[in-house]
Chain A
Amino acid sequence: MKATRLITWTSLAGIFVLLGHHFGGQAHIRRKLGQKPLAETTCLNCHFVSVKSLPWAQPRPHHDSPAGLAVSPDGTRIWIALDDQDQVAEADVKAMRVIRRAKVPGAPYGLALDPRGKQLFVACKSQDRVAVLDTTTLTEIDSIEVGMGPVALAFSATPKGARLLVANSMSDDISVLSVSPWRELSRPAAGREPFAVAASCDGTRAFVANRLVGLASVKSVPESELTQIDATTCRVTSRDALASAHLSESVCSVPSRSWVLTPLVKVRNMVPITQVANGWVMSSGFAVADRPSGRIVQLPLDEANDYFSDPSGVAADPSGHFAFVASGGSDVISVIDLARVSNWLARATQAQRDDAIYDLSLSPEYVVKRVRTGRNPRQLALTPDGSKLFVSERLDDSVLVIDTGTLNPAGRIRLGDGGRDDPIRLGERVFTSSAYTFQHQFSCRSCHPDGHVDGLSYDFDGDGIGDNLLDNRSLQGVAGTGPFKWNGKNPSLEIQCGVRFAKVLMRTEPFPAKELRDLTAFIKSLPPPRVNRTNRDHLSPSEERGRAIFFATRTPDGREIPVSSRCVTCHAPPLYTVRLPFKVGTKGQFDTTEAFDTPHLLGVADTAPYLHDGRAQSLEEIWTLYSTNDAHGVTSYMNKIQLNDLVAFLKTL
C-alpha cells in the first residue's frame, strides 16, 4: 500500500516535472525567439554551442598535396607547392624523387620561375603575399604583400622590365609587380575569383582565368571572364565573356598560334535538373580564344556517354601541336591535337562554332588520347622542351610524369602516403570524384569548388519544376549548423548527402555507407571562409558600430526592437545561427514555403549572392531591396552610414 502510494506520487511528480519542463521550456523558447518556433527546438539550439568543439576547429592530419608546379629551364628540376604543409618541395626530374624541401609559411599554392631559374616566386594563399626563394639555397629571400588569396603567378618580360602578375582569388584583382625594384605597380580588377594567370609567349601580355561567374540577376545567363592585361602598362585591355561557363582554373598561351586556352564547365543552372543524361546538368570543355580577332569558341571535352568532369589544368607544348587538359573529377588527362582543332575551326560555320560546345560527338575530332592518372589531377607543367608533362595528383600526394612522345606515364614523384588512413582525406576523394554520378558527369566539387560557392542558383526538380530556385550555399563552416536544405528539412549531412541527393542529383546509387561517412567527415572538416582581417586583432570604429547595431535591443531613439526582429535572435553567436527556420518576408513568387532555414554567417563576406534564392547580389541588397518592411530585422531606421557599419561588422565574421 505504502509502496503503491509512493509509486503513484512519484509518477505524478515526474509527470508534473515533465509537463512543467515542456511548457516552461516552450515558454522560454517563445520568449527568447519572440515568436513560436517553426520547428522542433531544444536547449542545444541556443546553448552549449561552441566553435572549439566543431570538427573544423580540431587538429587534423596534413598531407603532401601538390598544388602549383614549376620546372627549371634545363628541365632537370621541378618545384612543387605543398600548400597543406606550408612547404615547397624540389624534385630531381630524372630520378623522380624529392631532394629537399623548404618551409614557406602561408599555404604556398602557385609557383613561377624567372627565366634564368634563379628565383622561385611563390603565391602564399593564406598570408596574402608572394615569397621569393633563391633556388640555389631554396631559402626565402624576400616577400611582398599582394591582394587577398593569391593562387597563381606568371613571369612576364616586358620592354619596361620584368613583371610578375599575381591572381588574387579572394580580392578579385591582379597584382602587377615590378621584379626589380620589387614593388606593386598596379592592382587592376579581374573577374570573380581570378584563379590562373599565364603570360603570352612574347611576354607583353598576360591572361587571367576567373573561376566564378560575375554577380548578376538570378535569372540571367551566367558568364565568367577571361581577362587580358598589358603587362607593360599594367592595364586591362580586354574582358572577354565566357557565356554560360565557369570554373576556369587555368590558362595557357599556345606557342606558334595566337590562341589562349582555358578549360571550363558549361553549366545549365537555369534549366531545372530533371535529367542528367546528355550533359543536361553540366558538361566540360575548353575555350579557344583567338587573340587578334578576339573570337572565342567553346569546344567540348566530353563524349555523349562519358564525361571528363572538373577540367582543371591546361598546358600547351612548345611546338603548339598538343594541349593537355587535366580532368580532376575523372582522373584523366585529355590530349588535344591542336592542328585538328585548327582544321575544324577553319571548316566550321559560325553556327557550328556557336553550337560546338553542345555537340558531345565532336571531341573525337581532336582528342587523340585520354591518359589515366591518380586521384584528382589538377595543375600541369611541361619541361621547356615539351618532352615531359608533370601532373599534380592532388589527392594521391604525387606528381605523375608523362612522356609526351609516347603519351604514356613514365613514372611518379612520390610526395607522401596519400592519406590512406585519414577519413578526411578519403572523404575529399569522394567529394572530388565523379565516379558516383550518372555517366561521371560531375562531382560534389563541380558545384562546390573547394567546398565553397559557385555563385549560382539552381532549380532541383524534386519539389516541382520551376519552384524553389535555390542559392548554392558554401559548405565551408557548415559543421554543427544543421539542419540543411533551404527549408531545414534535412537534419544532418548524412541525410543531405544520402538517399535524397542520389535521387535528385546523382541519379545513381547513393554513396556506400563508408564513403558517406568519409564524405561527411571531409565536409565537416572545412573551416569557414577566411575574412579580410588577417592583420588586425580588433574591430575598426565602423565595425564596432556595426556590432552594436547587430546586438541592439533598441533603436537609437529608444524604441524597443521586438525580440523576433533582432539580428541576434536568429543569428546568435558563435555560429550566428540558431538553426531554426524563420519567416523573413523573402518568399518569392515560385517559393513553396515562406520560412527558410537560418544560414550561419561565418565568412559571409565571401559567399555572395545571398538569401535562399541568391537574389541579393550583395549584403546591402538584403535590406535595401529585399527587406523594406522590417521583416528581416529592423533596419528602416538606419541611415546609410549605419547600414554600412552593419555590413562592415558582418564582413568580420
Chain B
Amino acid sequence: MAMTAILLVCAGHFADLPAQSPSDLPFPLIRRFENFGIKDGLPTHKVHCVLPASDGKLWVGTWKGLVIREDGKFRRIGIEDGLSHPMVVCMVEDPGTGDLWIGTMRGLNRFSAGRMTVLTQTSCGLPNNVIYGLEIMSNTLWVATAAGLGAMDLKTGAWSIYDHNNTVMHEPWVYSVTAAKDRLFVGVWGGGILEYELSKQIFKEHRDPDRDFHFDLVPDDGPVNDVTSWVAWSDGILWQGTYFGMSRYDGLRWRTWQEKKSPLPSNFINFIFARGRVAWIGTDRGVSVTDGDTWANYHTDAKGATIVEISRPHQPVETRSLPTHLPNDFVLGLWANESEAWFATSDGLGHGFLGPAETLPASASVNKY
C-alpha cells in the first residue's frame, strides 16, 4: 500500500516534468498570450490578417475596416477614410517605400503617408476586386484575386494578368502568392500550385497526383490536395495549406500531412506564415508550429484553457498548459519572429510572447474581454 502510494506520487511528479527541456526544440514556444477585442478598440471580433510594419506600427485587417495600433492604441481606418471596402483580407508592405498595400473584398488600396488610393477592376488593369493575397517582388505587386493573378509594375503602373486563358492555371480563383528567390508560387483553388519562373516567364503546375479530394492516397508524392488555401515560402521551403491537409516542398521532395495520421491538428488550414525553415500554421483548431519533424500545437482544451502539445519524432506527445490562451482557435492570419507572434482569429487579435517561461499570478490566467 505504502509502496503503491510512493509509486503514484513519483509518477505524478514525473508527469509534471517535461520529457525533455524545451530548449531542444527547433523553434521557440509561446509562453503567454495577451488578447485584444472590441473593448480594446478593435471595431469587431473578426480579424483576418495582421502585419507589423517596418516603422513599428501594427496593422490589423478586420471584418470592419483596417486598424492601426500605435503607442498602444488602436485606430480604425474605414471607407470614410477612403478604404474601398471594410472587409480587409490581406496586406503587404512595400520594402522600398514603406507603402502598405491592402486587399479587400472590393478593391486594392495603397495607404501611403496617411493617404489612401483605391484601385479597382474598373479603374485599372486589376483582374478582379476580390483580393485574397498580395506579394511584392522585383518591383512588382502580385495580386491573388478571384479571377486570376494580377501583376502591377510598381514603377509604370502597367498590369499583366495570368489566368486560365493564358497559363496552365486550372481555374482563375487564386488564393495566395508567395515569393521565392527567383520565382513565385501561386496557390490556386482547385488548381494546386503554380510555380512561375520570372526570368523565363514560364509557369509550371504542381497538382495532387492522387486527384482524390479527401484522402492523401499516396503520401509524399506531391501536393496533398489541389484545393490550395495558402502558400508560403522561406529559406528554400514551400509550404502549402489546403482544406484537406498540408504539404512541404524543398525543391526536390514533397512531404504531406493530414490530421489523425500526423501531428497536424486539422486538415482545414487557413493560413501559413513561414520564417526560416519553420512554418506557423493557422487552422480551425488552433495554431501549429513545425519544421516538418517537430510540432507544437496550440489549441483550447475542453476546459477552455490553451494547451500546447509538443510532438517530437518517435517520442510521446508532451502536453503543457499555458497560463493564458489564444483568443480563438479559428486562426485566419499570423505573423511571427523570434520573440513574438500575432494571431488574427475569428474572435479577436492575439499576441503571443515567445521565449522563457514567466510566472504569472493565478488571476492572470483567465484573459477574457
Contact = CB atoms under 8 A, between A and B. Distances in A.
Interface of A: 147, 171, 173, 185-189, 225, 227-228, 233-239, 532, 542, 617-618, 620-621, 624-625, 639-641, 644, 647-648
Contact of B112 (A239, A620, A640, A641): A239
A293 B127 CA distance: 41
A644 B151 CA distance: 12
A618 B160 CA distance: 17
Q: Which 7 A-B pairs have the closest CB atoms?
A: A624-B122, A188-B97, A235-B98, A239-B115, A236-B113, A644-B125, A186-B96
Contacts of A239: 112-115
Interface string B108-119: 001011110100
B147 interface: yes
Nearest to B145: A640
Contacts of B147: 640
Contacts of B158: 648
Interface stretch (B161-169, B226-234, B360-368): B161-169
Interface string B65-101: 0000000000000000000000000000000111100
A234 B97 contact: yes
B156 interface: yes
Contacts of A173: 155
18 contacts: A173-B155, A187-B154, A188-B96, A188-B97, A188-B99, A189-B117, A228-B113, A236-B113, A238-B113, A239-B112, A617-B123, A620-B122, A624-B123, A639-B165, A640-B125, A640-B148, A641-B166, A644-B161
A556 B110 CA distance: 36
Nearest to B127: A640
Contacts of B117: 189
B159 interface: yes
Contacts of A235: 55, 97-98, 113
B218 interface: no
A186 B160 contact: no
Find the residue from A173, A225, A621, A644 having the highest chain B CB count within 10 A: A644
A438 to B, nearest CB: 37
B124 interface: yes
Contacts of B163: 641
B121 interface: yes
A14 B56 CA distance: 87
A226 B70 CA distance: 25
A228 B114 CA distance: 12
B98 A618 contact: no
Contacts of A234: 96-97
A171 B154 CA distance: 11
Given A187-B96, A189-B117, A618-B124, 10 more contacts: A171-B155, A188-B97, A188-B98, A234-B96, A617-B123, A620-B124, A625-B122, A640-B128, A641-B163, A644-B161
A147 B97 contact: no
Contacts of B154: 187
B96 A620 contact: no
A235 B57 CA distance: 15
Interface majority SS (helix, strand, loop, mixed), chain B: loop
Contacts of B128: 640
Contacts of A624: 121-123
Find the residue from B96, B97, B121 having the highest chain A CB count within 10 A: B97
A647 B113 contact: no
Contact of A189 (B99, B123, B124): B99
B155 A237 contact: no
A652 B166 CA distance: 23
Contacts of A648: 158
Nearest to A648: B158
A258 B279 CA distance: 49
B122 A621 contact: yes
B155 A236 contact: no
B160 A238 contact: no
Given A187-B155, A239-B112, A239-B114, A640 B98 contact: no
Contacts of A188: 96-99, 112
A532 B122 contact: no
Interface string B124-142: 1101100000000000000
A227 B115 CA distance: 11
A227 B113 CA distance: 9
A617 B122 CA distance: 10
A236 B121 contact: no
Contacts of B160: 542, 644
B44 to A, nearest CB: 28
Given A186-B97, A188-B99, A641-B165, A621 B123 contact: yes
Nearest to A625: B122
B97 A644 contact: no
Nearest to A236: B113
B125 A532 contact: no
B121 A640 contact: yes
A337 to B, nearest CB: 32
A639 B125 CA distance: 11
Contacts of A640: 121, 125, 127-128, 147-148, 161
Interface string B35-74: 0000000000000000000010000000000000000000
B97 A236 contact: yes
Interface string B162-187: 01011000000000000000000000
A396 B261 CA distance: 85
Given A189-B99, A235-B97, A239-B112, A171 B156 contact: yes
Contacts of A236: 97-99, 112-113
A14 B113 CA distance: 74
A617 B55 CA distance: 33
B180 to A, nearest CB: 23
A189 B112 contact: yes
A618 B148 CA distance: 22
A617 B119 CA distance: 11
B54 to A, nearest CB: 9
Contact of B125 (A171, A238, A647): A647
Nearest to A647: B125
Nearest to B55: A235
B98 to A, nearest CB: 4
A108 B121 CA distance: 38
A214 B302 CA distance: 56
Contacts of B115: 225, 239
A189 B165 contact: no
Nearest to A191: B115
Contacts of A532: 156
A641 B110 CA distance: 23
A568 B128 CA distance: 28
Contacts of A189: 97, 99, 110, 112, 117
Nearest to B163: A641
A238 B155 contact: no
Contacts of B124: 618, 620
B113 A644 contact: no
B263 to A, nearest CB: 42
Nearest to B128: A640
A152 to B, nearest CB: 19
Nearest to B119: A618
B155 A147 contact: yes
Contacts of A639: 165
Nearest to B158: A648
A242 to B, nearest CB: 13
A177 B96 CA distance: 12
A622 B195 CA distance: 35
A618 B123 contact: yes
Nearest to A624: B122
B155 A644 contact: no
Contacts of A233: 98
Interface in B276-295: none
Contacts of B112: 188-189, 236, 239
Contacts of B159: 644
Nearest to B112: A236
A173 B161 CA distance: 24
B345 to A, nearest CB: 31
Contacts of A618: 123-124
